[in-house]
């Protein structure tokens, strides 16, 4: 277990360096000047030069890069060019909202996928199976940037059941969580069906049925638990993906999370905030993958022994 933790920390450090380096140079290659965005089109060259020197943007690019790496080693994400406050404070304000949305979307996906996948597996080859897989195919095919506005038109404008945007009102999370969770639910349902169909032909399932165990015990305890490994894989990977993939959904629903902050910062050319947002998302993704491996070990003793 200690070896696994060391490998996980090494992966986090290495990937953080690679991602931080790539984002640093790519964001500086994007056309646009943060000083021009902050001062406007009518600023004098002297004012622009003074502000650029104040923000440290007049230094050579590699000197800025070395300063950025040294700050990261001290867990310093820098100062926002636009807000003039530590980036860590901005991230601390926004990241919990993105995490909340991702967890809610995951919950929505599980609540939809497990009954759908179980229904399809237990009625394999029959109309419930075909209907479930058709629904899941439609769900995975619908893009978030289309589904979100459609849900707003139906549930917020036509029916007036749920708020259009923001996070202040009760149940404001429902529409963005459903938008994010629909595609994941479709993937999970198909994966659960395939895994259950494979497990249900194993010898221990036939033994459990021969002993006279109820269908609930056979499918709910023996089959489902052993079919969860690939599902856990998808859940772990998709939770990390939701943290980064919530950008479009947060913009559509004006959700005050990390994704919306990232888009706003790109528009303002706020280099430190963009770098910090992408870095936090990548580190979260790696950490979640590590937790997924630990879940493997808990679900399958063979993996635990191998570690």
Paired tokens of 301: 């003793």
Q: How far is CA 29 from CA 22, 33, 64, 95, in A?
A: 11, 10, 14, 26
In a domain, 74, yes or no: no
Q: What DSSP line would sit under 209-237, residue for residue?
A: HHTT--HIIIIIIIIHHHTHHHHHHHHHH
What is the pLDDT averaged over residues 32-47?
A: 71
Pick the closest to residue 94 from 305, 260, 302, 297 (CA basis): 260
In a domain, 282, yes or no: no
Q: Is the pLDDT of residue 95 over 80?
A: yes
In a domain, 203, yes or no: yes
Q: How confident is the model at residue 300 (pLDDT cuts 50, 70, 90)?
A: low
Total of domains in the chain: 1
- Return d(Cα 274, Cα 270) in angstroms, integer: 6
Residue 173: half-sphere exposure toward Cβ, Cα within 13 Å: 15
In a domain, 87, yes or no: no
CATH of the domain at 114: 1.10.3720.10
Q: Is the pLDDT higher at 139 or at 301?
A: 139
Q: What is the DSSP letter of 157?
A: I
In a domain, 230, yes or no: yes
Single pTM value for the model = 0.79
In a domain, 3, yes or no: no
Query: pLDDT of 208-267, one tens digit each?
Result: 667 666 666 666 666 776 777 777 777 777 777 777 767 888 888 888 888 888 888 888
In a domain, 65, yes or no: no
List the domain range (segments joined by +) for residue 259: 108-266
Most confident region among 48-52, 59-63, 286-290 by mean pLDDT: 59-63
In a domain, 36, yes or no: no
Query: pLDDT of 161-206, one tens digit each?
Result: 888 887 788 888 889 999 888 888 888 888 888 888 877 777 667 7
Q: What is the pLDDT of residue 23?
A: 84
């Amino acid at each position: 277990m200690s070896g696994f933790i060391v490998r996980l920390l090494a992966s986090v450090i290495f990937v953080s360096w690679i991602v931080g380096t790539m984002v640093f140079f790519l964001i500086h290659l994007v056309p646009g000047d943060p000083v021009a965005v902050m001062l406007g089109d009518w600023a004098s060259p002297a004012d622009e030069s003074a502000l650029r020197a104040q923000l440290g943007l007049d230094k050579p690019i590699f000197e800025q890069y070395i300063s950025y790496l040294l700050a990261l080693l001290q867990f310093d994400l820098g100062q926002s060019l636009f807000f003039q406050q530590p980036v860590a404070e901005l991230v601390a304000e926004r990241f919990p909202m993105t995490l909340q949305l991702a967890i809610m979307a995951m919950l929505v996906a599980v609540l939809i996928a497990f009954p759908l996948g179980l229904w399809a597996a237990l009625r394999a080859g029959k109309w419930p199976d075909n209907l479930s897989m058709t629904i899941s195919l439609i769900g995975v095919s619908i893009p978030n940037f289309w589904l979100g506005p459609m849900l707003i038109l139906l549930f917020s404008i036509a029916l007036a059941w749920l708020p259009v945007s923001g996070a202040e009102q009760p149940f404001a999370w429902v529409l963005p969580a459903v938008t994010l969770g629909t595609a994941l639910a479709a993937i999970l349902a198909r994966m659960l069906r395939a895994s259950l169909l494979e497990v249900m032909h194993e010898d221990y399932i036939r033994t459990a049925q021969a002993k006279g165990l109820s269908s609930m015990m056979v499918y709910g305890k023996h089959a489902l638990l052993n079919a969860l490994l690939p599902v856990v894989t998808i859940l772990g990977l998709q939770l990390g993906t939701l943290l980064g993939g919530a950008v479009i959904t947060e913009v559509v629903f004006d959700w005050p999370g990390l994704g919306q902050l990232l888009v706003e910062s790109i528009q303002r050319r706020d280099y430190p905030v963009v770098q910090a947002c992408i870095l936090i998302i990548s580190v979260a993704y790696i950490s979640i993958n590590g937790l997924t491996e630990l879940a493997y070990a808990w679900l399958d003793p063979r993996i635990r022994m191998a570690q």
